[in-house]
Homo-oligomer: A and B are copies of this chain.
């Protein structure tokens, strides 16, 4: 049932404990669902209530603490022994009693309440209130920020993880194809996304799709400068540009991809800009190899667009892989100025160069793996501005 071998989970746990030791953390409370999954296998849509994994430096197995209703899910999806799965009663759910009071009692009972406790201060699913309750209930503990500790362990992927990311890449090709095939003047945005979702979730005959951590984004026309608005009932118009950003997902591993579609012939300017984006993307991909820093890869892109007199503020890409909503990024290495992370084999990134102007934008991206001597682009999809001459379709509709 488990997506990885017992040995792989042990290795991850060892790496985590090594980092705990370096930082002087004796007990680590993990609330980031991707990190919980990474270390224990736990996988369920239950992160909307408080739940966590307790890693104790001198104990072999972590402890899962979560809602009573989800304990069976923990038994089904983790490698943990049953006595390491501790449910809190339903009376703690959205009530005056806080689950962290229960957690504090458990830590007290097992003699861990006066230790140096690491917290993921930046986890989406560790609220400010949970933090306060924990501090109040454990007055003798010393708390330390361990926000991205496990995220950094996740930075270099195993071969099995790469296999799942490659499957996600096959799935994202299908999703992108559904977008490209269906986008046309007169078609509603929601109908296009319906077809995309069907493909992303069904996956391929060999392996099914999982839910991506971010919904498909399809800003069009003037809205290409507002990248995070989601779809509406609006119909596409002839002459519009549409940016499509989505990810395939398998076993919670992602492979994101972005393309831009022009409904009808693009302006000469937009076409030229798309050529610059592709040139910059190609050049940056060529710069990828072990030993190079993230900053150097960004510089390769920047040198291309500078030639054309263009400047771009936001980052060029980010580390990605295993994740849960609301983000598939890992929040560790970024391909941007000032990031001195040195690339190593089996790191995986989404490189997403984009250029935005007053009334349109162009994004063309690739997800890639760092190899022994370069990079492996994960999805195989035409790397260009995609022009849809859908006059036939508009006549029918």
Residues of chain A whose beta carbon lies under 8 Å from any beta carbon of chain B: 43-48, 68-70, 72-73, 76-77, 89-90, 93-94, 119, 121-132, 145, 147, 188-191, 193-195, 197-203, 207-211, 214-215, 217, 223, 225-233, 313-315, 318, 325-327, 329, 331, 334
Contact B230 A211 (CB under 8 A): yes
Q: A191-B202, A191-B208, A202-B190 are in contact. Are A314 and B90 (CB under 8 A)?
A: yes
Contact at A128–B130, with CB atoms within 8 Å?
A: yes
- Within 8 Å by CB of A198, from B198, B215, B233, lies B198
What are the 9 A-B residue pairs with the smallest beta carbon separation, nearest first?
A: A190-B208, A194-B202, A128-B131, A208-B233, A197-B197, A121-B129, A48-B326, A48-B327, A194-B201
Determine the distance from Cα of A199 to Cα of B215 in the docked complex, in whole angstroms.
15
Q: How far is the CA of A123 from the CA of B233 in the complex (A)?
A: 29
Contact, CB under 8 Å: A127 / B132: no
Q: Return A30 CB to nearest CB of chain B, in Å.
A: 14
* Complex Cα gap A318–B257 (Å): 38
What separation, in Å, do the CA atoms of A123 and B125 have in the docked complex? 9
Are A228 and B46 in touch, CB under 8 angstroms? yes
Contacts A73-B226, A331-B94; is A126 near B128 (CB within 8 Å)?
Answer: yes
CB-defined contacts of A226 to chain B, threshold 8 Å: 44, 70, 72-73, 76
Inter-chain contact B211/A188, CB cutoff 8 Å = no
- Nearest CB to that of A193 among chain B residues? B201
Minimal beta-carbon separation of A87 from chain B (angstroms):
11
Which of chain B's residues have a CB closer than 8 A to the CB of A211?
Answer: 215, 230
**What is the bound-complex CA distance between A68 and B211, given in angstroms?**
28
Q: Which of B119, B124, B202, B203 contacts A125 (CB 8 A)?
A: B124
10 contacts between A and B (CB under 8 A): A45-B215, A69-B228, A90-B313, A94-B331, A94-B334, A188-B202, A190-B202, A195-B198, A203-B233, A208-B232
